[in-house]
Amino acid sequence: MTDIPREEYILKCTSACAGCSDSLTLRYVLKAAGPDTVLVVPACCTSVIQGIYPNTAMNIPVYNVAFAAAAACASGMSAAFQSAGRKTNVIVYAGDGGTVDIGIQALSGAFERGTDFLYICYDNEAYGNTGMQRSGSTPAGARTTTTPAGKGQTKKDLDAIVAAHNPPYMATACASYPKDLFAKVQKALSIRGPKFIHVLSPCPPGWRYSSERSVEMGKLAVRSGMWILYEREYGKVTISGPSKAAMIKPVPLEEYLEPQGRFKGISPEARALLRSVAERNAQRLKKEEEGIC
């Protein structure tokens, strides 16, 4: 693997919250992508953290676009670059709301059409930009401002939806593992066609934990099996190192839930739901990796 470059494409003094792992994700994504890159950003936290016109904290072109429109906008951009013979990377950088909910139609269309682009969903498991309302990606039991008693439903299986489009490359990542994230973005951008990376993005104000613990929260998510790092390259699944280790010797789920205010007072039923979803995901991925599904 090449070293992570020193160049920065997201500059200091963004308006991100303290401890925001979205900024960290963005930092490594852009280091991997390099300067010949356009970011397409629908309404999400990243719309805000760039700063306010006429200034921007981003050192690459960023095309901000309406909530549901990112993947379609990127389709047009990718086609235009292709028409002009330009090799510029087109990356959608969208939150979970803009991906699993309002943006999923455009996402599905772009993947079905074989659009040459990379779609990155940074997932903080709620509508963060508007102050933490539930999204389809909010896990069971998590309290948000629209699920004050905890969400009754499980997290939407976005990866299964994307996988159903048979993209040449998809992966999960977390900025707590920056080298893994960096390598996955680089690999994705080396492949033609629609690529997808789903990044868990711990959120101090939304998940209600202390802001210096973001990297730790990402690691606990992986070690507890709540977030599984893997790649699916031309259909072949490879579980990434940290998750392989976690599958052998996971930390108890409680270690992940306990520091998060959003899970305070979680019911035994919701806790069981979280556990069963995590186990089902692990079993499925292990079988896929072994090629027995």
Give how far the C-alpha of residue 4 lies from the chain's centroid of Cα atoms, to the nearest Å. Answer: 20
Minimum CB separation of residue 29 from other proteins in Å reads: 15
Structure tokens at 142: 């998590």
Q: Are 8 and 92 in contact (CB under 8 A)?
A: no
Minimum CB separation of residue 153 from other proteins in Å reads: 26
For residue 119, what is the enclosing H or E element?
A: strand 117-123
Closest to other proteins by CB, 53 vs 234, is: 53
Give dist(CA 104, CA 92) in Å, integer.
Answer: 13
Closest to other proteins by CB, 21 vs 46, is: 46
Give dist(CA 250, CA 262) in Å, integer.
Answer: 22
Quick check: bond before 139 cis, omega within 30? no
Residue 181 interacting with other proteins (CB under 8 A): no
Residue 166 interacting with other proteins (CB under 8 A): no
CA gyration radius, the chain: 18
Closest to other proteins by CB, 36 vs 255, is: 36
Closest to other proteins by CB, 1 vs 83, is: 83
- Residue 171: closest CA among 157, 185, 161: 185
Residue 189 interacting with other proteins (CB under 8 A): no
Exactly one of 4, 79, 163, 253 binds other proteins (CB under 8 A); which one? 79
Residue 239: CB atoms within 10 Å: 20
Q: Binding to other proteins (CB under 8 A): which residues in 38-67?
A: 38, 40, 47-48, 50-56, 58-66
Residue 33 interacting with other proteins (CB under 8 A): no
Minimum CB separation of residue 161 from other proteins in Å reads: 14
Residue 77 interacting with other proteins (CB under 8 A): yes
Residue whose entry in the numeric block shows the structure tokens 């040459």: 116
Residues that bind other proteins in the complex, under the rule CB under 8 A: 35-38, 40, 47-48, 50-56, 58-66, 68-84, 86, 88, 105-106, 108-109, 112-113
